[in-house]
């Protein structure tokens, strides 16, 4: 059984751009976010309030939020790893924030410079403060189907971290296959384990496409009952320093698949695809969306 409607969450402006080596002008980031809203996106991860020394591309987070012409029915979210990030995000008037943990200790250290346990303690204060400000908090778990440093990760490790974030007050838990190594049966087993702790309707699939498995994995978890999907226009993303690392699954490819399955997403595929062609040209990148490529050559 498949859901009749899927909530799509656009990652392009954040996950898609965060590793770009050339600084993209703030105005172009703003234009990207506005085009994504015009394509029908109602949930857009716009930027990150993180250390500019760790992620230089996100240094203009406040300026992006200030320059954005906001559509009334769109939720604009930012990543906030600590209280400093949260204060910046609240001052910028974001609609929603997100904290990000990992199932792997080593990944946690490399990504946010603390242990999983320390990160959860830190997030507890971030979530409390966000809730006081009436701002909802999404929780991410990285390395859910494999870690670049530790290799195998068990579904139980992911379920435990997801459970902790959900109990602390995250309204939605997004499961990140950070390095895109997962395969469909593994994705099903993951969802089976995590949904024992967090209700199925609160789970999002955040799959990177490094090994070309993301669409197959999405189909597998749709069958399990997942109805929230993270994706990145033109498949933007990937680390220029990590060989073969790819962005999130391309939003165009997900929308095309959903349309074929008769699942509503609210997205306008031609408008989305032309946005993907436009941003790829701005970045001088090959469009990583197969559907985007196919539609642009017709
Ligand atoms: P740290 O160095 O341990 O932090 O970094 P600190 O508290 O010791 O502070 C050090 C300096 O950073 C200080 O400045 C702070 O003010 C500054 P100094 O006094 O040296 O000039 N600082 C900040 N500046 C701006 N905004 C902030 C902030 N916090 C501290 N929020 C920290 C810890 C978490 C800050 C750092 O490691 C960091 O920013 N990491 C972010 C990494 C990141 O953004 N990764 C990518 C996003 S996660 C992801 O992509 C995965 C996901 O897509 C799911 C998946 O695919 O798996 C979500
Ligand atoms: Mg990601």
Kindly write down the DSSP assignment for every residue of 19-43, as one continuous string.
T-SSPPPHHHHHHHHHHHHHTT-SE
Mutate to test the pocket of ligand 1, among 12, 15, 49, 51 (most ligand atoms within 8 A of CB): 51
Give pLDDT, residue 298: 65
Give pLDDT, residue 297: 77
CA-nearest residue, atom 56 of ligand 1 = 178
Q: What does pLDDT average to in each consecutive run of 10 residues of the chain (298 residues)?
A: 96 97 96 98 98 97 98 98 98 98 97 97 98 98 96 97 98 97 98 98 98 98 98 92 86 98 98 98 96 90
Residue 88 burial (CB count, 10 A): 20
CA of 110 to the centre of ligand 1 (A): 11
Give pLDDT, residue 243: 73
Residue 193 burial (CB count, 10 A): 17
CA nearest neighbour of 187 among 245, 150, 146, 128: 146
Give residue 129's region: left, alpha or beta (phi > 0; psi -120 to 50): alpha
Catalytic residue among 114, 147, 170, 239: 239
Give pLDDT, residue 160: 98
Beta-carbon contacts of residue 148 (< 8 Å; ≥ 6 apart): 107, 178, 179, 242
Beta-carbon contacts of residue 246 (< 8 Å; ≥ 6 apart): 180, 208, 209, 210, 235, 237, 238, 288
């Amino acid at each position: 059984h498949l859901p009749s409607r899927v909530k799509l969450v656009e990652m392009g402006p954040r996950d898609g751009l965060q590793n770009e080596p050339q600084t993209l002008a703030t105005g172009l980031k703003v234009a990207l976010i506005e085009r994504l809203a015009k394509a029908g996106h109602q949930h857009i991860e716009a930027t990150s309030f993180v250390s500019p020394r760790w992620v230089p591309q996100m240094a203009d987070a406040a300026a992006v939020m200030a320059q954005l012409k906001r559509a009334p029915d769109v939720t604009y979210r930012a990543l906030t790893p600590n209280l400093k990030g949260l204060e910046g995000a609240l001052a910028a008037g974001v609609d929603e924030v997100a904290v990000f943990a990992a199932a792997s200790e080593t990944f946690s250290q490399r990504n946010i410079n603390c242990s999983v346990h320390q990160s959860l303690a830190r997030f507890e204060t971030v979530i409390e403060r966000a809730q006081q400000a009436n701002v909802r908090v999404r929780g991410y778990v990285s390395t859910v189907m494999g870690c670049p440093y530790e290799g195998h990760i068990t579904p139980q490790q992911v379920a435990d971290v997801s459970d902790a974030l959900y109990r602390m007050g995250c309204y939605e838990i997004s499961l990140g296959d950070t390095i895109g190594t997962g395969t469909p049966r593994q994705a099903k087993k993951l969802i089976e384990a995590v949904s024992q702790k967090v209700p199925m309707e609160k789970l999002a699939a955040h799959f990177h496409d490094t090994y070309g498995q993301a669409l197959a994995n999405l189909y597998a978890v749709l069958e399990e009952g997942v109805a929230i999907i993270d994706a990145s226009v033109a498949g933007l993303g990937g680390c220029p320093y990590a060989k073969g690392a790819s962005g999130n699954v391309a939003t165009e490819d997900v929308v095309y698949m959903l349309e074929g399955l008769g699942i509503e997403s609210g997205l306008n595929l031609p408008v989305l695809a032309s946005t993907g062609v436009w941003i790829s040209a701005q970045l001088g990148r090959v469009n990583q969306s197969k559907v985007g490529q196919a539609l642009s050559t017709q």
